Structure 1
Amino acid sequence: MFQRIDEFHDWWNQQQQAHPFHVTPAPLDQLTGWSADQDTGVIRHRSGRFFSVEGLEVSTDHGFVEEWSQPIIDQPESGILGILVKRVRGVPYFLMQAKAEPGNVNVIQLSPTVQATKSNYSRVHQGKSVPYLEHFLAPRRGRILSDVLQSEQGAWFLHKRNRNMIIEIDEDVDALDGFCWLSREQLSELFAVDNLVNMDSRTVLAGYPLPGTSAGTHNDTASLLSWFTEAKSRYRLDRRRIPLNAVKKWIWSPDGIRHEDDKYFSVIGVDVVAGNREVAGWSQPLLAPKHRGLVALLVRRVDGQLQVLMRALTQAGTLDVVEIGPTVQCAPGNHADTEPQPAFLDHVLTAPKERLLFDTVHSEEGGRFYHAENRYVVVDTGDQLPDDVGHDFTWMTLPQLAELARYSNHVNVEARNVLACLIFQPSER
């Protein structure tokens, strides 16, 4: 355990230097262990596990575009994202690891205690076992603070979910090489550092209980659930799997698959040489976004209590018709020459600096996405916005959002990530 945050940064620099990790681009049709089906173009691993890249045709009456087709990652198995917590003299400490992923902009980021797909912890790759896994598999020791199947990026994954777990233990557990115990206060500081706390850590920590607060009255929460159910009932979302080589407006080349307008994302291949992973090297496809994204919450204070503006959001791979998303979730670069613009985007982009309660660039999941970044922003709107902001939006308190995030497929991964940023802000404890 670190007494001062600069001790962590010294340790972090040592981790970056101690574990070589090299990622080089590779043609999709030359990835070791992967192949594209001759008839459909679908990209699969020879084991039939891990994930595949397939084609999806989408039709919906919710959003700017009614019909489109796209490549999408299909990973039907659920992995485990788990964090161990231990109290020392009443202070919670979190066991985190320095983990390298092929898509990370800076290779190593601060990850959960356990971050593993079922294929990985079942050792399909015939590599080393996953440290600390026994704490997250039944029968387990410790107190469960959070355990829920949570969705991941609906724009890029089809029905993808991972098991998010926080387990509090009383026993002494040593930090192995590459792992460290961090206090809540130390994590709060690290949340404000660009590209340090990874997506998997953020989505798990969104389930950490808010101290000293309640979610509001039953009727308040019931009204929010009714709003959510009404949104799911109001809209239509139809999906159909299609051959990957049949997606419209997408172009295959030796470098990968890209959209004809050079927007959204591309599918690329990489070769990886790793120094501290379960296997020493591998190849895989990655999805590479074209532009940096924006994930923003507009907030206000009513009677001294923080309220956040959430929206009902439909995406291609969402398990149900909608999930609860942040006020703004988009890649502004994809909308530079389009009308209409996403709702409230101008409120975020023109917000004066003194209104920004949080503003940090964080990476998305580096195991499937290449250099995927979002700017996470929380904007205090003062009294600029009314109570009624349209049927796709609703105000709720931070405890209410945290309560809804404890249930599967209610709050999307981007909203959970910005929730974690708020939970671990000193001013919101």
Structure 2
Amino acid sequence: MFSDLAAFHGWFADRCTANAYRVRRVPLEDLEGWSTEAGSGDLVHGSGRFFSVRGLDVTHSGREVDSWQQPIIVQPEHGILGILVKEFDGVPHCLLQAKMEPGNVNLVQLSPTVQATKSNYTRVHGGRAVPYLEHFVAPRGGQVLFDALQSEQASWFLSKRNRNMIVRTEQDVPLLEDFCWLTFDQIAGLLRVDDLVNMDTRTVLSGAVALLRPRHRALGGGLAGEAVAGAWETEESALHTTTELLSWFTEAKGAATLTRRLMPLSDVAGWSARDGVIAHDEGRHFTVLGVAAEAPSREVARWTQPMFAPRSQGVIAFLTRRVAGVPHVLVQARTETGALDRIEMAPTVQCQPADHTPPHGLGRPPFLDEVLGARPDRILLDVVLSEEGGRFYHARSRYLVVEADDDFPLDVPPDFAWVTLRQLTHFVRFGSHLNVEARSLLTLLGFLDEGARAAGLSAGAVAR
């Protein structure tokens, strides 16, 4: 446990240098244990487990581009993302770990107590056991506070879901050297640091936002404090009832026309294998590349694997505005390429802006210009965070929460809706509702004023 964030940063710096981590690029054809499947060109692991890279044919998407083909990660098994909570002197603390992932731009970030695929925790790789796993698999001790199957990045995963869990324990928990106990206040302050709290921690913590509700009710003053505390008003204060929003969402799913089918990776149009990678012929979107990783603190100390590397930084943002004095955020019912139900609730803006500038010819996504052109005093949150570092190489997005002017229209396109924070915390309890990007923003917004206090900032000074 740390007396302040300065003590944490000292510990974290020590953990980053305690092991000789190394990641280097290697050609796909040189990956050990991986091969190109005869006839299809798919990238597969020799064990038949972990994941594979295959081709996907998409038609009738309902997006700005109606049809396309692309590589996709196929990983049908469910992993576990779990955070253990324990009270010390009456204050809840979360057990997090300083974990190396080969795709992290800075290698080591704060991950959940357990972050493991089924292949990992069943030890297909023959490595060491996953620490603290016994708290998250039945029969387990402790009280389950949150448990839901949640989607991963559906632009690059096909129907991928992980079990997100928060478990409270009263047992004695031995503290291993790469793990630490942090309060919710401290985590909130760390969420404001670029590339520190990883995606897996953020998605699990979205299930904890409702647990902070009593504290937000006691907060006062300041733009951020009002934005969070006001969002806990009753259902009658919302622009739409939860039932109306669920009907809107169900109608969007029923109207979805997207079809998709797996196809041989070697037949994917517009993509080519060259120079040891698989890349888009126009240099857009992402590249499939290979890495060799060394991490003495991991269950397996050395391995190689394919990864997806985006060609540019993403922008993921919520627009928020008050409706009858109550803050709402603008969500979209978004067609997601690989999502299990094809449609999920997503942030107001979710894109790589570089794909929407000449000469590519894609139209500008709705509200992108409003987000990027916001005045500094309207930006409640602005932080660059990494996406999943186990499968994506140097994938980073700028996460923003932007308050729109009071005259910003409530009348929005039919695939958008205004939602309160209270309603988002209801939806996050169920799988296939909020996508992973929206869950990250829910965590950031739900911890907004907590982070200002933990970082020693006034509530009105949260924008950087």
1:316 aligns with 2:333: no
- Per-residue CA deviations over 1:293-317 (Å, capped at 9, x if unaligned) read 0100000123443210000111210
Aligned residue for 1:227, secondary structure, equals helix
1:412/1:63 CA distance change after superposition, 3 Å: same
Q: CA deviation at 1:349?
A: 0.7
Q: CA deviation at 1:174?
A: 2.9
Contact 2:42 2:52 in 1 (8 A): yes
5 Å matches for 1:226-265?
226-265=247-286
5 Å matches for 1:18-417?
18-210=18-210, 211-212=213-214, 213=232, 216=235, 220-337=241-358, 338-417=361-440
Q: Distance in 1 between matches of 2:172 and 2:319?
A: 41
1:302/1:183 CA distance change after superposition, 3 Å: same
Q: Distance in 1 between matches of 2:413 and 2:450?
A: 29
Contact 2:29 2:276 in 1 (8 A): no
Q: CA deviation at 1:182?
A: 0.4
Q: CA deviation at 1:41?
A: 0.4
Q: CA deviation at 1:318?
A: 1.2
Contact 2:190 2:197 in 1 (8 A): yes
- Per-residue CA deviations over 1:279-304 (Å, capped at 9, x if unaligned) read 11000000000000010000012344
Contact 2:233 2:326 in 1 (8 A): no
Q: Which residue of the partner structure matches residue 15 of structure 1?
A: 15
Q: CA deviation at 1:214?
A: 6.7
Q: Which runs of 5+ in 2 are unaligned?
A: 215-231, 454-464
- Two-structure CA RMSD over aligned residues (Å): 1.5
TM norm structure 2: 0.90
Q: Distance in 1 between matches of 2:423 and 2:438?
A: 13
Aligned residue for 2:135, secondary structure, equals helix
Q: Which runs of 5+ in 1 are unaligned?
A: none
What amino acid does structure 2 have at the position aligned with 1:19? N
- Per-residue CA deviations over 1:100-122 (Å, capped at 9, x if unaligned) read 00000000000000000000000
What amino acid does structure 2 have at the position aligned with 1:351? A
Contact 1:145 1:209 in 2 (8 A): no
- Per-residue CA deviations over 1:80-119 (Å, capped at 9, x if unaligned) read 0000111233322110000000000000000000000000
User: What is the aligned residue count?
Assistant: 429
Q: CA deviation at 1:215?
A: 6.7
Contact 1:112 1:200 in 2 (8 A): yes
What amino acid does structure 2 have at the position aligned with 1:123? R
Q: Which residue of the partner structure matches residue 418 of structure 1?
A: 441
Mean Cα deviation higher: 99-108 or 245-254: 245-254
Q: Distance in 2 between matches of 1:115 and 1:89?
A: 27
Q: Distance in 2 between matches of 1:61 and 1:69?
A: 12
Q: Distance in 2 between matches of 1:427 and 1:191?
A: 10
What is the aligned-residue identity percentage?
Answer: 52
